[in-house]
Amino acid sequence: MDDAAVLGDLVFTHDVLVDGVHFRPNDPVGDVAWKLLAVNLSDLAAKGAVPVGVLLGYPLSDDKWDTAFVRGLGEALAYFDVALFGGDTVRGPRVLSLTAIGQSVHAPSRSGAKAGDALCITGVIGRAGLGLAGDPEHLNAYRRPVPRLAEGQALAPIVHAMMDVSDGLLIDAQRMAAASGLGLTIDLDAVPHVGDLMTAITAGMVKELREATGAGMMDVKKALTEVNGDMEAAVDWLRTKGLAKAAKKADRVAAEGLIGVAVSTGRGVAVEINSETDFVAKNADFQALVRDLTNVALTVGESVEVVKAAHLNGKTVDTVLQEAISRIGENMTLRRMHVLEGDTVVSYVHNAAAEGMGKIGVLVALNGPADAAQAIGKQFAMHIAATAPLSLSEATLDSAVMERELAVQTAKALEENAASAKPKPDQVIHQNIIPGRMKRFLAENTLLGQAFVINPDLTVEAAAKAAGVEITGYARVAVGEGIEKKTEDFAAEVAKALQG
């Protein structure tokens, strides 16, 4: 039997909480009211339903308890944007009942699973149990659970079967399998469990995510917990909740060194050479090395391997690099290079440490009159350094990036709509709002679609056309992109040393 009944596009569910069975006598009364609503909304979430309203069955007792319950229920109704349609009151034992009503176009049953289906869960198992046991960090998960309404609405159209976890993962998964006439295998090691997170989520992870997104500490901790410590997924979770903007990879990485750039007759190179400290990056010897390696790359470079094998002052570049490491006393790496060719190639260095090198190097390739291309190309290069576009145009944008952004915007739009006082029809969300947000994403993240920083009334594409040129390619190379900064655990280091 399902936890909810489906009649047309309406979904009905009913739950009962009994004093001493489903809540403890010392539980805060407002939390009891919250839980009564939440457990019902969780059943609606399993049907992909948008909550519409509730009916309450309430046993009157002492005035203080009643007042606290009404206040707590009102808070929960306001939080989930659900109306109280009515109900009934009686005098008697404290047995609380509530009927919730929702709407769902796609309402999967628990009996629709098919052989070969994957079993997936949202969130982390075990928090409510720890809260019940008195763990203060997880007490809210037990007292004030938050039903996964947005996830349910997003999943309902694409799953065969779905139900909420209320009596434990193993029990509820077995119920779904039995209702579908199937057996079930669960890899318990793959189940995200709160016990795994208690040591996996570190202060360093919280700090890194806060710096990348600007979100608050508690929001960041919750995000990391929800997604089992996955930093990329935590950024998306925060964005779905409206708590953070998209963080580009460059915002979440750190390394030292310099980018060298050089251009000659329609060919440009940007070379990244890393050092261990910023102090060495300011060293004249290191800067001379960057200049020499960049010039070699401009002449012969098609890849890092080719540059390393090339000759510089009678020695291979790799040998010169190893000698510099011995001389300066710090590890250095010729990490990557980018070659760009075109009718005209223009370069720009941001945060320059010396001529032709700095923290960010930009190359822009253009077609059109050389004088015009040189003049406006420098402006375009400065624009690229400031805005860090993801690609030249929609056609060149990585499809995986588009898919990830679409998933974030879809979940966010559905959650916002579910929380709205006047929810819009599904077709409006999917046909108007989400496409509009994706259009804005492309305008903000593709070079040709961005507003030109020199003249925001024009897009970069329009500014290029007005100047009589065409941008055919670009490269923006920043020190440390894609390198996760290693965080040393000093205590562990000392302990290891003491152990010999």
3-state helix, strand, coil in the chain (%, to 5): 45, 25, 30
pLDDT at 325: 87
Token pair, residue 267, equals: 């060919």
Q: Using the predicted structure, report yes or no on whether residue 290 has a pLDDT greater than 70.
A: yes
Split at pLDDT 50, 70, 90, the class of 214 is confident
Between the CA atoms of 227, 229, 230 and 234, what dihedral angle is there, to the nearest 10 degrees? 60
DSSP 106: S
Interval 28-56 mean pLDDT: 94
CA end-to-end span of the chain: 62
pLDDT at 239: 85
Q: Using the predicted structure, report yes or no on whether residue 497 has a pLDDT greater than 70.
A: no
- Name residues whose C-beta falls within 8 Å of residue 85's C-beta, 6 or more positions apart in sequence: 53, 54, 55, 101
Interval 219-235 mean pLDDT: 81
Q: Using the predicted structure, report yes or no on whether residue 495 has a pLDDT greater than 80.
A: no
Do residues 15 and 43 lie in contact, with contact meaning Cβ atoms separated by under 8 Å?
yes
As to burial, measured by CB atoms within 10 angstroms (0-12 exposed, 13-18 middle, 19+ buried), residue 184 is: middle
Token pair, residue 137, equals: 């960090």
Tokens 């109900």 sit at which residue?
Answer: 87
Q: Using the predicted structure, report yes or no on whether residue 364 has a pLDDT greater than 80.
A: yes
Q: Which helix (H) or strand (E) holds 251?
A: none
Domain boundaries, the chain: 4-179, 201-251, 255-387
pLDDT at 133: 66
Do residues 234 and 124 lie in contact, with contact meaning Cβ atoms separated by under 8 Å?
no
Q: Can you state the angle between helices 231-240 and 203-213, rounded to 10 degrees?
A: 50
Residues 228 and 225: their CA atoms lie apart, in Å, by 5
* Residues facing residue 346 across a β-bridge: 364
Interval 268-291 mean pLDDT: 90
Which of 283 and 269 is assigned the larger pLDDT?
A: 269
For residue 366, give the nearest of 477, 455, 443, 465 by alpha carbon.
465
- Name residues whose C-beta falls within 8 Å of residue 9's C-beta, 6 or more positions apart in sequence: 103, 104, 105, 107
Residues 92 and 94: their CA atoms lie apart, in Å, by 7
Which of 415 and 123 is assigned the larger pLDDT?
A: 415
Number of continuous H segments (helices) and E segments (strands) in the chain: 20, 13
Which of 142 and 188 is assigned the larger pLDDT?
A: 142
Q: Helix or strand or coil: residue 183?
A: coil
How much of the chain exceeds pLDDT 70, in percent?
Answer: 91
Q: Using the predicted structure, report yes or no on whether residue 460 has a pLDDT greater than 80.
A: yes
Give tens-digit pLDDT for 47-103. 999 999 999 999 998 889 999 999 999 999 998 889 999 999 998 889 999 999 999
**Topology classification of domain 201-251:** Helicase, Ruva Protein; domain 3 (1.10.8)
Interval 351-375 mean pLDDT: 94
Which of 143 and 393 is assigned the larger pLDDT?
A: 393
How many other CB atoms are found less than 10 A from the CB of residue 56?
20
Give tens-digit pLDDT for 429-446. 999 999 999 999 999 999
The upper half-sphere exposure of residue 123, i.e. CA atoms within 13 Å in the direction of its Cβ, equals: 17
Q: Using the predicted structure, report yes or no on whether residue 128 has a pLDDT greater than 70.
A: yes
Residues 97 and 15: their CA atoms lie apart, in Å, by 6
pTM for this one? 0.53
How much of the chain exceeds pLDDT 90, in percent?
Answer: 52
Q: Which helix (H) or strand (E) holds 261?
A: strand 256-264
For residue 359, give the nearest of 478, 183, 213, 499 by alpha carbon.
478
Which of 234-243, 373-382, 486-495 is predicted least confidently? 486-495
pLDDT at 245: 60
CATH of 4-179, one of 3.30.1330.10, 3.30.1640.10, 3.20.20.70, 3.30.390.10: 3.30.1330.10
pLDDT at 98: 96
Q: Report the chain's mean pLDDT, rounded to a whole number.
A: 86
Residues 450 and 153: their CA atoms lie apart, in Å, by 33
Identify the CATH homologous superfamily for domain 255-387: Elongation factor Ts, dimerisation domain (3.30.479.20)
pLDDT at 216: 79
b/e code 367-400 from CB counts within 10 Å (16+ = b):
ebeeeebeebbebbbbbbbebbbbbbebeebeee
pLDDT at 201: 66
pLDDT at 293: 96
Domains 201-251 and 255-387 share a fold: no
Between the CA atoms of 136, 200, 408 and 419, what dihedral angle is there, to the nearest 10 degrees? -10
